[in-house]
Amino acid sequence: MLPGPTGGPATFHYFNVAIADANKAVQAAVEHAEPPAEARVSPIRKLLSAEVAALRLKAGKVKPA
């Protein structure tokens, strides 16, 4: 595990993103991270349409997981 931006332990924040394009989804998650400039983000997996519906995500929206 890599250290966090301040040298302490890394922290993990997960986001559900309703954007089909992986690069745009990652960028949207980065914009919601705290602080955004120091975030290292990687996609985990695509959400199934049933998951998007269950999470009540609208197209283009980002929610903390």
- pLDDT tens digits, 1-11: 445 556 667 67
30 in a structural domain = yes
- pLDDT tens digits, 20-29: 888 898 888 8
Strands (E) in the chain, as ranges, are 15-17, 62-64
> Amino acid letter at 42?
S
Domain count, the chain: 1
49 in a structural domain = yes
Range of the domain at 43: 15-64
Residues in CB range of 12: below 8 A, 6 or more apart: none
Longest dimension (CA), the chain: 39
5 in a structural domain = no
Tokens of 24: 């745009």
